[in-house]
Amino acid sequence: MKLYSDTDELLLPSLDIRTGIDVGANAGTYALHLARVSKTLVCFEPVPFMQRLLNMLFAGQKHVIIRNEALSDRNGVATLSIPVQENEAVTAMASLHTAFPQGRDIAVNTIRLDDFCRESTWLDPALIDFIKIDVEGFENEVIAGMREVLAKAHPVLLIEIELRHNSRCLDLFAELREAGYASYVSPVGGALTPVSITTAEQLGAIQDLNSLALEKPGYRINSRRHYLNNFWFVHPDSVLKDSLSRFIRASD
C-alpha cells in the first residue's frame, strides 16, 4: 500500500471534485492528490521558488492552474516572512501572520478568493467543492476573504489549525460552526472522527507538543496520529458530504 505523509490524504482518493482550491500549496504534497480527483485545481502559492516548482510538477496538466498570489481578506501587497534555519529557507512555515527574526521577508500580492472568483471568466464559485488551507496562522483572514464562496458552494474545508500558531483560531471554529459546518479530525488513516472545539483546553488536549515528537512521516490505513492539527469542516449542503460520510466514525 502506498505511503502517505498524512492520514488525511488517505481520504482524498474517494472524492470527485469539480473545482478544488489549494491555499498554500508549497511543494504540492496535497496538490498531487487533489489533481487526480479534481476536474479543475487552482493552487495559490506566493513563494516564487515554490511556484516554479509547482509549474514544473504540473507541466502539461492543463486542469491545474498555479497562481502566485496569497489568499487574504484584502487585495494588495503584504509581507511574507520565511524562516531560515541553518541557512536554509523553510518555505513550509512561511507566514503572513508571523514575522521571523531569523528570516527572509518578501513582498507578495494578496487577493480575496471572493474577488478572484468575481474577476475570473473561467471559474464558477458555485462549483468549488473542496478547499485545503495551510497558511501558518493566517487562516482567519483567508476564510474572511471567501465568505461568499462558502455561502454559495458550501465546499468541504481541510484546514491546518494550530493553537501555537494562531491565538485567534477559536474564533474561526466558532464562525464555521455558526455557518453550519461540522468539524472532524482524522487520527486514524481512512477515518474521520467528529470533534467539537470551543475552548483552548480542548484544542490543547490534541495538540500536545510531546505528542508531536512521536509523529513520523508516512501513514497507512489504521495508522494513528498523536498530534492533530488538520481539521475537516463539512457542511450538510456539500456535494461531497455523502462521499465522506462513510468514513465518519465515533470517537474511540
pLDDT tens-digit series, residues 136-154 = 999 999 999 999 999 999 9
Distance CA 135, CA 25 (A): 9
Distance of CA 119 to the CA centre of its chain: 23
Distance CA 221, CA 1 (A): 9
Contact 89, 127 (CB under 8 A): no
Please give the mean pLDDT across all residues of the chain: 92
pLDDT tens-digit series, residues 186-242 = 999 889 999 999 999 999 999 998 888 777 777 777 788 889 999 999 999 999 999
Question: What percentage of residues in the chain have a pLDDT greater than 90?
Answer: 74
Q: With 70 as the cut, is the pLDDT of residue 252 above it?
A: no
Could you tell me the domains of the chain?
7-245 (3.40.50.150)
Average the pLDDT over 160-175 and give the result.
95
For the whole model, what pTM was predicted? 0.93
For the chain, the straight-line distance linking the first and the last C-alpha, in angstroms and rounded, comes to 25
**Higher-confidence position of 1 and 73:** 73
Q: With 60 as the cut, is the pLDDT of residue 1 above it?
A: no
Q: Which three cell numbers stand for residue 126?
A: 458555485
Angle, CA 147 vertex, CA 144 and CA 148 arms, to 5°: 145
Average the pLDDT over 244-250 and give the result.
90
Sheet holding 230-234, edge to edge: 64-67, 38-44, 17-23, 128-133, 156-160, 230-234, 182-185, 193-194
Question: What percentage of residues in the chain have a pLDDT greater than 70?
Answer: 97
Which runs of consecutive H residues, i.e. helices, occur in 42-199? 48-57, 113-119, 139-144, 147-153, 169-178
